[in-house]
Amino acid sequence: MVIDRQRFFAEIRDNPFPERLSARQVEGTELVLNEFEARAPGGDLRQLAYILATAFHETAQTMQPVRETLAASDDAAIRILDRAFATGRLGQVRTPYWRRDADGKSWLGRGLVQLTHKRNYQTMSDVIGVDLVAQPERALEPQVSAAILIEGMLRGSFTGRRLSQYFDASRADWEGARAIINGNDRAALLAGYGRAFHAALT
């Protein structure tokens, strides 16, 4: 896999990024490129493009690991989520998973892809070999977060759906691939981001 990175960054500066790239956005994007090349040498560039699109969307375009709600601390994120839950703005949520458990840990979303619920932290601990149950905040470490994002999407660790089900020799299902993370939520939007990243990669 050979990516012309100079051309790639010139292209994404126009689409999907809005005209400019900060040093932090470049740094986060480079990390995902490097981790994909290391973990999936010779991998499908459409799959890489969709991974980049997912990180772009899930981090509010920052390409840096973030907490759910983009809060600066767990306590702040918990307060925001509690208010949203109380006013009915999280209709799809039955149990407030973000509230601290008996050990004082919160299983709110963290990372380049929003890892939530203790069972998912355990699953990804087993996949990447980092104990996220003992220290869930490690999902905010850039290298750890990139591993979660890439391995989770390649293996189908989040929803049971994996990238190879949507991108193979016979098809490229840019909208359907959203099921790897979150059903069909904003599937067309993510598809557009994915195609833009793919155009820049190729």
Q: Across-strand partners of 171?
A: 168
Q: Is the per-residue pLDDT at 19 higher than 80?
A: no
Are the C-beta atoms of residues 188 and 182 closer than 8 Å to each other?
no
pTM of the predicted model over 0.85: yes
For 80-133, the pLDDT digits (tens) are: 999 999 999 987 888 999 999 999 999 999 999 999 999 999 999 999 999 999
For 119-176, the pLDDT digits (tens) are: 999 999 999 999 999 999 999 999 999 999 999 999 999 999 999 999 998 999 999 9
Which DSSP state fits 93?
-
- CA–CA distance from 101 to each of 43, 98, 118, 121, 194 (Å)? 39, 9, 10, 14, 37
Q: Which residue has the tokens 């703005």?
A: 89
pLDDT of residue 71: 97
Cα distance between residue 194 and residue 49, in whole Å: 5
Which DSSP state fits 104?
S
